[in-house]
């Protein structure tokens, strides 16, 4: 089982719709959770971080964390063509005396105009 | 701009060349990372330095050699590379130990090995 799993997509949504991206993780010791956006040929940029169960909203983005079910999701409201990118989920956990940062493989999102 | 810079942005080298990638962070972080990202593949963590000590080395071939002279600078020395080493090489930094271990990425170096 992969430590951080994401559906590779592509996930296609029409402009103005809600895009829902999901991520599951295997280690219950995971402490902090991140969503990055990566445009083709560019480096990842942080969108959201979340540390406790529940929802966290920032503009059109909402991150949801459920530690009991070991999943974290990202909702993008009013999706725009400029949101088309690969979205990477990352998990930070403390193991063997050190912090370990693990990325998922990413979900490619296409917002259709 | 994330506060992490990388040079050069593009590099073309032959298999017999020796070159170095440079990364500098201006965020006061205490950990730095090298990642490799090949086309249509996920990020692969190569090396981690925390407080200038290498704490992780994920079975990377010896033709890649990292160096971290201080907490703000990180190098990746390259020699006798193979064409399959062509990829985007990303540097990142973070502040380890406070739970909010967000990694900030540089723009990357696009490496082509001929």
Inter-chain contact A105–B102, Cβ cutoff 8 Å? Answer: no
pLDDT given for residue B99 in this prediction: 57
Residue A42, min C-alpha distance to chain B (Å):
7
CB pairs under 8 A between A and B: 49
Q: How far apart are CA B54 and CA A59, in angstroms?
A: 38
Residues of A in contact with B33 (CB under 8 A): 101
Mean residue pLDDT of chain B comes to 90
| Confidence band, pLDDT 50/70/90 cuts, at residue B98 | low
Parallel, antiparallel, or unpaired for β B10-13 and B109-113? parallel
Sequential DSSP letters for B59-111 = S--TTEEEEEEETTEEEEEEES--GGG-EEEEEEEE-TTSS----EE---EEE
Q: Report the pLDDT averaged over residues B32-61.
A: 85
Inter-chain contact A51–B43, Cβ cutoff 8 Å? Answer: no
Of the residues B1, B6, B43, the best mutation for testing chain A's interface (the one with the most A CB atoms within 10 Å of its CB) is B43
Residues B54-73 pLDDT 10s: 877 778 999 999 999 999 99
If you count them, how many residues does chain B have?
114
Inter-chain contact B105–A44, Cβ cutoff 8 Å? Answer: yes
pLDDT given for residue A53 in this prediction: 95
Burial of B42 (0-12, 13-18, 19+ CB in 10 A): middle
Q: Per-residue confidence of chain A (113 residues) as pLDDT tens digits?
A: 678 999 988 999 999 999 999 999 998 888 899 999 999 888 999 999 999 999 999 999 999 999 999 999 999 999 999 999 999 999 988 777 777 788 999 999 999 99
pLDDT given for residue B27 in this prediction: 94
Residues B5-20 pLDDT 10s: 999 999 999 888 899 9
């Amino acid at each position: 089982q992969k430590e951080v799993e994401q559906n590779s997509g592509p996930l296609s949504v029409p402009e103005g719709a809600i895009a829902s991206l999901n991520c599951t993780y295997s280690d219950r010791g995971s402490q902090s959770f991140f969503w990055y956006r990566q445009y083709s040929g560019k480096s990842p940029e942080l969108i959201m971080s979340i540390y406790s169960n529940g929802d966290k909203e920032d503009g059109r983005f909402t991150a949801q964390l459920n530690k009991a079910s070991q999943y974290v999701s990202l909702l993008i409201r009013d999706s725009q063509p400029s949101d088309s990118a690969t979205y990477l989920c990352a998990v930070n956990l403390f193991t063997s005396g050190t912090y370990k940062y693990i990325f998922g493989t990413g979900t490619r999102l296409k917002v259709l105009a | 701009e994330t506060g992490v810079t990388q040079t050069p942005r593009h590099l073309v080298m032959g298999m017999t060349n020796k070159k170095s990638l440079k990364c500098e962070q201006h965020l006061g972080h205490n950990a730095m990372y090298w990642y490799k990202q090949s086309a249509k593949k996920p990020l692969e963590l190569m090396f981690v330095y925390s407080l200038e000590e290498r704490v992780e080395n994920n079975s990377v071939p010896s033709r890649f050699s990292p160096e971290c002279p201080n907490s703000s600078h990180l190098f990746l020395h390259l020699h006798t590379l193979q064409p399959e080493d062509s990829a985007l090489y990303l540097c990142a930094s973070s502040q380890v130990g406070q739970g909010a271990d967000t990694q900030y990425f540089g723009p990357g170096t696009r490496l082509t090995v001929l």
